[in-house]
Amino acid sequence: MKISQNSGVPIYQQIADSFRTDILEGKYSEGEYLPSIRGLAKELRISVITTIKAYDQLEAEGLVTAVHGKGYCINPQDGEMLREQHKRKVEDALLDAIKYARIAGMNEEELVETLKTLNNFAED
């Protein structure tokens, strides 16, 4: 996991975002545990409190459950819920793309063509 002290995004948010992405992409299995709070804090050279804040955020989102004495366990993921979460990410990214396309003076046709080109590139 890579975190940046200078990104402008709080460290706890970077950690939560990284784990959220990994969980939603299936890199963690149901019932698997996240790294220990102290272990992750030591590895990333950050405060234990920062790690706890990230894990608490994931718990509030329903992605993990705190198991007393064991850590944070990955919850079963509802396939439809995962699909909706991914769709929301796509929509957010496309809204950003539209905003930047307007700033760049691109029309709808150019934007769609760019999307098609990038989609083809991503398949390779």
Helix (H) or strand (E) holding 11: helix 11-24
Please write the tens of the pLDDT for every residue from 87-121.
Answer: 888 899 999 999 999 999 999 999 999 999 998 88
Residue with more model confidence, 122 or 21? 21
Whether 122 has a pLDDT exceeding 90, the answer reads: no
For the whole model, what pTM was predicted?
A: 0.67
Please write the tens of the pLDDT for every residue from 19-44.
Answer: 998 988 889 989 999 999 999 999 99
75 close to 23: Cβ distance less than 8 angstroms: no
Give me the residue label for tokens 């930047």. 100
Structure-token pair, residue 23: 């969980």
35 close to 55: Cβ distance less than 8 angstroms: no
Sheet strands (E) in the chain = 64-67, 71-74
> Where does the pLDDT of residue 1 fall: very low under 50, low under 70, confident under 90, or very high at 90 and above?
confident
Bridge partners (DSSP) of residue 64 are 74
Spatial separation of the C-alpha atoms in residues 103 and 100, rounded to whole Å: 5
Please write the tens of the pLDDT for every residue from 59-96.
Answer: 998 899 999 999 999 998 766 777 787 788 889 999 99
